[in-house]
Structure 1
Amino acid sequence: MSGLDRITIVGASLAGLRAVQALRREGFEGDVTLVGAETHVPYNRPPLSKSVLRGDDDVTLPGAEELGDQWLRGRQAVHLDVRSRTVTLDDGAELGYDGLVIATGARPRQLDGVRRLRTIDDALALRAELESGHEHVVVIGGGFIGGEVASTARQLGRKVTLVDAAPYPMHAGLGEEASRWLAAHHERNGVELVSQARVTAVDGGLVLLSDGRSLAADLVVGGMGVVPNTEWLDGALAVNDGVLCEPTLFAQGTENIVAAGDLARWPHGLFGGEMVRVEHWSNANEQGAVAAHNLLAGPENAQPFLEVPNFATHVHGARIQTAGLPHLADSASIVTGSPEEDRFAVAFTRDGVLVGAVAVNSPKELIKLKRAITARETAARDA
């Protein structure tokens, strides 16, 4: 895209880092300004709920060392003016831009008295709490963060209660069969499940539930989902549960602003233009680079972002992987293995076309199903 001399990237986590690397790789010779809310060099977040809590501080993110000191640490964007092409920071500084990459991510939903887990500082604080001798940990939310924290706490010998609003943990993302298996897997590994209940408050050492019950707890950890960090964009861009984007990741109504990572919401071409927002590592890793590439190419030459969403988690030693968008399906079937074997894969279809897959301890099958989703194959057996 002609006329791009200054590119500002707001957000210095994975998507922002990959955007910087893509600009350099493609030979952009203009000024690049990267703004990061944290003071740390960009780091890998997946270990925060697993190995970091067990004492391993290695969160190295390959490529982060390339940034050197030429970026703004500990600064947050508070306002965007698309007419003057400026980003205002929390210290009052204004950054001009010709092209803008928005990668400010998301933050955990919070409840008073509940430990959150999003940053390395959060993880180190939670580790200190776990090491201090707390015996009973209550985890709110059975998603991948909640599940990993519950698994790690059990490895550390803590009593764990997992509270989740769904019938089974990760029910929306894994479907009936796999989430039912996951519930049993948690219980076999000593986790007490409290399902179909919401936490209304934490009062001292008591966790109060929506059904009137209360749970005693020494430590309460939240895994209640996240909220996109888009407040600073209000009035400047179209925002609705994320930055609304074109298929090419350009923010709607703009020619020089792209978004990537946890806050980007775009119509996915493999799923009938379904608006999606994906919060997982692989999406940010891929999207940051594509967004930067498309910004340089310009709207007319940009390519749609068509990567199949996927993520993986480890819970009590089991590897759980997903691909596509299982929640869109109108039908699901086990295509290999069985829950009783703790090894199986589920294919999800809509109108007979594969739209999602879940694999438990079956990585090769997941790869096959992901390829079939990309190819829009019409039956699980074609994978």
Structure 2
Amino acid sequence: MVIVGAGEAGARAATALREEGWDRPITLVGGEIHPPYERPPLSKAALLAETEPVATTVLSQDRAAALDIALVLGTEATAIDRAARAVVLTDGRALPYSRLLLATGARPRRLTLPGHEQALYLRRFDDALALRPLLRPGVRLVIIGGGFIGLELAAAAVARGCAVTLVEAQPRILMRGVPAEIAAVIADRHRAAGIDLRTGIDIERIEPDAVVLADGSRITADAVIAGIGVVPETALAEAAGLAVDNGIAVDATLATADPVIFAAGDCAACAHPLYAGRRIRIEAWRNAQDQGALAARNMLGRGEAIAAVPWFWSDQYELTLQIAGLADVGRTMVARDLGDGAQLLFHLAADGRLVAASGVGPLGKIAREIRLAEMLIAHRAAPDPDALASPAVRLKTLLAARTKAPEVA
């Protein structure tokens, strides 16, 4: 077994292969020199830590050795020879495979406007180490992009005393996959923290000491960080003749058109049964975990279709945002007030089926509710909208009714 990509999905797949009983060689190839580590802390704890941060390793060298997993780090895969069933590395080696998993992840989307070379990005642990010295009191920081990375960076920077301006070209922040009602709560919290949040305006250019907007106004900047999304790493797959559709195209079992090659994690665009086979690519920690484990089982011939509900989260200040499912599939929305500033939004398809749930507020108020909503989505439930709207009706009661099982504790 060969796995290309030593991130969360690749590491999880490697360990899952051993857990599932595979006792033959496993090789995990990664371009970074670091053993596989978690990315979510990079925009949070790694920037806020008082002392020099350490990567949160998910598969250490010692653990890999104990599982007899060969870690090949600091080396890129350059080609896949499908006829010979081998992966070619930058050092010239060819690794034979019986099954191959592509867990190549994604890279930051780069700016192309004049002065773009001055912008910094955050994707890898070394990026976080490079950004930390910039985040200090009095630094004037411009962040380009109002998605999760840009907003989490803004929250960390303002907590470290920076003067932060965030510029988003779209009409609002969090345009992708987050309802406007929840995005407004997050925007208000950032403004309350002192962030100058500007939406609906393009950037003309970046100068050595400023960002110039399309309306001619200038924002003085000591540093500029861009967080405008990521691009799935598909070049290896494309060169090998595999289909790409906003990611490496895979079926519900994570298999490509080549039955011995699979893809998982940020690079994989999966046909999801819960959403009528719609091809979905999710950039989220838990998705990488779920797909890594599923890919391992299917590399061993299990033939399991993906069942996990898409889920992602973001922590900003004291607020947690969590979304289960795909909100854009919904045709109607039902709100539930959880109190203490927490709210849930339920998204229903035209046939009444619950297809997504969005929540924002303190973690303790929304995490369990989103988890129960996720289970309702997985069961293809179509709850009564009035019941969803009423805090007096517990979601675990709706779930128990759907599953005809005792209520969950």
Tell whether the structures are fold-level matches, with TM greater than 0.5. yes
Query: Residue 26 of structure 2 contacts residue 70 of structure 2 at CA under 8 Å; is this kept in 1?
Result: no
Matched, 1:164 2:161: no
Secondary structure of the corresponding residue to residue 71 of structure 2: coil
- Cα deviation digits, residues 122-178 of structure 1 (max 9, x gap): 0000002224x6511111111111111100111111111111122221133221210
What does residue 130 of structure 1 align with? 135
* Separation in 2, partners of 1:200, 1:348: 37
Given the alignment, which residue of 13, 16, 20 partners 1:22?
Answer: 16
- Mapping 1:1-383, distance limit 5 Å: 7-55=1-49, 57-64=53-60, 65-68=62-65, 70-111=70-111, 112-131=117-136, 135-236=139-240, 237-251=242-256, 253-297=257-301, 301-337=302-338, 341-351=340-350, 352-361=352-361, 362-379=366-383, 380=385, 381=388, 382=398
Query: Residue 39 of structure 1 contacts residue 74 of structure 1 at CA under 8 Å; is this kept in 2?
Result: yes
The more displaced of 342-351 and 7-16 is 342-351
* Separation in 2, partners of 1:94, 1:201: 44
- Cα deviation digits, residues 84-132 of structure 1 (max 9, x gap): 212122222222111101001000012321111011100000002224x
Secondary structure of the corresponding residue to residue 27 of structure 1: coil
Secondary structure of the corresponding residue to residue 171 of structure 1: coil
2:357 corresponds to which letter in structure 1?
Answer: A
* Separation in 2, partners of 1:211, 1:286: 45
* Separation in 2, partners of 1:323, 1:279: 13
Tell me the percent identity: 37
What does residue 4 of structure 1 align with? none
Please report the TM-score for the alignment, with normalisation by the length of structure 2.
0.86
The Cα shift of 1:58 comes to 3.9
- Cα deviation digits, residues 35-91 of structure 1 (max 9, x gap): 010001111111111111123514323443411483211011121121121212222
* Separation in 1, partners of 2:138, 2:11: 37
Query: Residue 138 of structure 2 contacts residue 161 of structure 2 at CA under 8 Å; is this kept in 1?
Result: no
The Cα shift of 1:348 comes to 1.1
Query: Residue 258 of structure 1 contacts residue 292 of structure 1 at CA under 8 Å; is this kept in 2?
Result: no
2:119 corresponds to which letter in structure 1?
Answer: V
Change over 3 Å in CA distance of 1:330–1:200 after alignment to 2: farther
What does residue 114 of structure 2 align with? none
* Separation in 2, partners of 1:25, 1:200: 53
The Cα shift of 1:30 comes to 1.6
The Cα shift of 1:19 comes to 0.8
The Cα shift of 1:347 comes to 0.8
Aligned residue pairs, count: 370
* Separation in 2, partners of 1:58, 1:320: 26
Change over 3 Å in CA distance of 1:63–1:93 after alignment to 2: closer
- Cα deviation digits, residues 227-260 of structure 1 (max 9, x gap): 1111122242111221000110001x21111111
* Separation in 2, partners of 1:63, 1:119: 16
* Separation in 1, partners of 2:355, 2:253: 21
1:346 corresponds to which letter in structure 2?
Answer: L
Query: Residue 87 of structure 2 contacts residue 95 of structure 2 at CA under 8 Å; is this kept in 1?
Result: yes
* Separation in 1, partners of 2:317, 2:77: 39
Secondary structure of the corresponding residue to residue 71 of structure 1: strand
* Separation in 2, partners of 1:38, 1:310: 27
The Cα shift of 1:211 comes to 4.2
Please report the TM-score for the alignment, with normalisation by the length of structure 1.
0.92
Change over 3 Å in CA distance of 1:166–1:331 after alignment to 2: farther
Query: Residue 40 of structure 2 contacts residue 285 of structure 2 at CA under 8 Å; is this kept in 1?
Result: yes
Gaps in structure 2 of 5+ consecutive residues = 112-116, 389-397, 400-409
2:108 corresponds to which letter in structure 1?
Answer: P
Change over 3 Å in CA distance of 1:88–1:209 after alignment to 2: farther
* Separation in 2, partners of 1:218, 1:327: 38
1:287 corresponds to which letter in structure 2?
Answer: Q
Secondary structure of the corresponding residue to residue 219 of structure 2: strand
* Separation in 1, partners of 2:379, 2:264: 24
* Separation in 2, partners of 1:62, 1:88: 26
Query: Residue 36 of structure 2 contacts residue 58 of structure 2 at CA under 8 Å; is this kept in 1?
Result: no
The Cα shift of 1:200 comes to 4.3
1:374 corresponds to which letter in structure 2?
Answer: A
Query: Residue 85 of structure 2 contacts residue 97 of structure 2 at CA under 8 Å; is this kept in 1?
Result: yes
2:295 corresponds to which letter in structure 1?
Answer: A
